[in-house]
């Protein structure tokens, strides 16, 4: 049975009556969800003292499990949070706050990304505290908000928390699409040290979200990591390698999955990590695969490139390799793809209907900057993953990028633009659930909505990659190619 807050104010969490609805909420700290549990000013002060001069709120994230959000991971971002306290007729406001996670996000109407605190959760996270005395026992609370309050609250006559969630520019895709808010509502609770500590360790939904996650895999000291597209998901880069000719346009000539992590220290980018896999190779040509991440000219650093044999912790001959560079990060991470991913006696790998699948090599990079960078000075994801086709001498980039290699035909002949006259690209980035067309099957035949996407210059059929003709794709599946 729940003990009365007045008796155990410092140890028992209390759910609050007011909620965040459609992006905003005005939360009266004196009104509990159950009136019998209403907090007094003395209770608030006891909780503030218990947390070393802060009030800590738990939030039940309640968002629609659609798009890039799902039942196991969903989130919102906070634009502002202000606590207003009235003592003796005088009003004081506190607007400094923090949450365990942050993400670079663009507000609606803008494409400029800034750092915002985020709230991450999942549907039905249970037993949020082992304490049967706590009102949160068995509840579905997810995230925490910590708000420093540098005044005593035991004489307060009013205490109201006003929260505004960030309306994100969802047209940019992730991470904005993940952190948008819907018509759902978020419950709040004032929590004890026991519950806040338990919840911080539980971190529901965080491992699958585009967010900041504590980790340490590089030489520089790191406070946290920002992952794109998320800590567990990958971008898929797929190429048609007969550029500038459209050829069979099956977009399986090389398929690579990759994700990037930015290591943060004191709100600056101190390190960089990359993880990736070769997924498919349906070409008679061979290639080198590069990843270019735009950085300031003064950036410099060093690191290591690893290349692991398929399904193994053993590295390929010549690896690991030490790297160093200045300016933008621009490294060849795969060399000679035809010799890397091959089935003896066959031309292609993972693109033919009747041929068994094989796993591809895994690669990783750790890179430490000599001097930490401002996060806003790092180029936006999905960055510039590009191909150098050894047989033809051409580079192949996403349409918005320019060639970079001085020895390529593109540079020698001044060839630019990575679309043909009809607007068809030669490189695309799609989410990891995508599966490539079978050998010699046009991308527009395997994914019929792609034609409308191209003809509208990318303004329509933006989810074309989710609607395949099942008989015309190679069912590789992320559970297979992400072999760990």
Token code pair at residue 146 = 């910590």
- Which SS3 state, helix, strand or coil, does residue 174 take? coil
Token code pair at residue 63 = 């968002």
Are 9 and 46 contacting, i.e. CB atoms less than 8 angstroms apart? yes
Position 183 scores a pLDDT of 63
Rounded Cα–Cα distance for residues 359 and 312 (Å): 10
Nearest residue to 227 via CA among 240, 245, 215, 244: 215
Nearest residue to 142 via CA among 219, 194, 199, 72: 199
Say what the pTM is.
Answer: 0.66
Are 292 and 328 contacting, i.e. CB atoms less than 8 angstroms apart? yes
Are 25 and 18 contacting, i.e. CB atoms less than 8 angstroms apart? yes
State the burial class of residue 344 (Cβ atoms within 10 Å of its Cβ: 0-12, 13-18, 19+): exposed
Torsion angle of C-alpha atoms 393, 396, 402, 406, degrees rounded to 10: -20
Nearest residue to 468 via CA among 438, 439, 447: 447
User: Position of tokens 């191909």?
Assistant: 387
Over the chain (484 residues), the average pLDDT of each successive run of 10 is 36 90 95 92 94 93 77 91 96 93 86 85 62 64 92 96 94 83 85 85 77 59 85 92 92 97 92 96 97 98 93 89 95 97 95 96 94 96 97 95 92 79 92 94 95 90 93 94 88
Are 257 and 432 contacting, i.e. CB atoms less than 8 angstroms apart? yes
Token code pair at residue 289 = 């695969």
Nearest residue to 103 via CA among 91, 92, 118: 118
Cα 411 to Cα 55, 241, 393, 400: the distances in Å are 59, 17, 10, 16
Helix (H) or strand (E) holding 443: helix 443-446
Question: What is the rounded end-to-end Cα distance, in angstroms, of the chain?
Answer: 46
Token code pair at residue 66 = 């659609």
Position 135 scores a pLDDT of 65
Cα 123 to Cα 139, 183, 197, 229, 380: the distances in Å are 11, 15, 20, 21, 30
Residue 409: CB partners within 8 Å, gap ≥ 6?
A: 392, 393, 394, 415
Position 67 scores a pLDDT of 64
């Amino acid at each position: 049975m729940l003990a009365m807050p007045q008796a155990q104010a410092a140890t028992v969490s209390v759910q609050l009556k007011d909620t965040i609805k459609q992006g905003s909420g005005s939360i009266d700290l004196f009104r509990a969800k159950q009136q019998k549990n209403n907090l007094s000013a003395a209770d608030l002060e006891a909780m503030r003292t218990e947390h070393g001069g802060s009030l800590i709120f738990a939030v039940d994230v309640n968002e629609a499990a659609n798009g890039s959000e799902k039942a196991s991971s969903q989130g919102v971002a906070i634009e502002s949070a202000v606590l207003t306290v009235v003592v003796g007729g005088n009003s004081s406001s506190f607007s400094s706050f923090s949450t365990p996670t942050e993400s670079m996000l663009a507000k609606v109407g803008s494409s400029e990304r800034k750092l915002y605190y985020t709230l991450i959760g999942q549907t039905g996270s249970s037993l949020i505290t082992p304490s049967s005395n706590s009102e949160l026992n068995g509840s579905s609370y997810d995230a925490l908000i910590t708000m420093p309050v540098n005044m005593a609250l035991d004489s307060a006559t009013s205490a109201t928390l006003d929260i505004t969630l960030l309306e994100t520019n969802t047209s940019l895709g992730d991470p904005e699409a993940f952190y948008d808010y819907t018509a759902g509502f978020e419950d709040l609770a004032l929590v004890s040290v026991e519950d806040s500590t338990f919840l911080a360790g539980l971190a529901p939904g965080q491992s699958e979200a585009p967010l900041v996650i504590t980790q340490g895999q590089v030489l520089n000291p790191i406070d946290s990591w920002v992952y794109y597209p998320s800590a567990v998901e990958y971008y898929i880069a797929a190429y048609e390698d007969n550029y500038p000719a459209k050829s069979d346009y099956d977009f399986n000539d090389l398929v690579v999955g990759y994700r990037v992590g930015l290591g943060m220290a004191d709100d600056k980018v101190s390190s960089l990590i990359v993880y990736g896999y070769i997924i498919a190779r349906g070409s008679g040509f061979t290639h080198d695969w590069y990843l270019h991440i735009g950085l300031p000219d003064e950036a410099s650093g060093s690191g290591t490139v690893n290349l692991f044999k398929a399904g193994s912790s053993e590295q390929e001959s010549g690896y690991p390799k030490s790297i160093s560079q200045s300016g933008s990060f621009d490294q060849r991470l795969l060399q000679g793809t035809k010799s890397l991913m091959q089935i003896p006696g066959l031309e292609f790998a993972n693109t033919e209907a009747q041929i068994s699948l094989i796993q591809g090599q895994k690669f990783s990079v750790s890179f430490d900057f000599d001097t930490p960078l401002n996060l806003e000075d790092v180029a936006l994801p999905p960055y510039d993953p590009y191909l150098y086709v050894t047989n033809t001498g051409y580079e192949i980039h996403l349409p918005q990028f320019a060639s970079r290699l001085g020895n390529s035909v593109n540079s020698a002949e001044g060839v630019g633009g990575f679309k043909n006259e009809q607007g068809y690209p030669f490189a695309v980035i799609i989410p990891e659930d995508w599966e490539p067309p079978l050998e010699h099957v046009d991308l527009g035949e395997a994914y019929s909505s792609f034609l409308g996407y191209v003809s509208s210059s990318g303004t329509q059929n933006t989810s074309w990659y989710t609607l395949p003709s099942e008989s015309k794709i190679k069912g590789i599946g992320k559970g297979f190619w992400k072999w760990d």
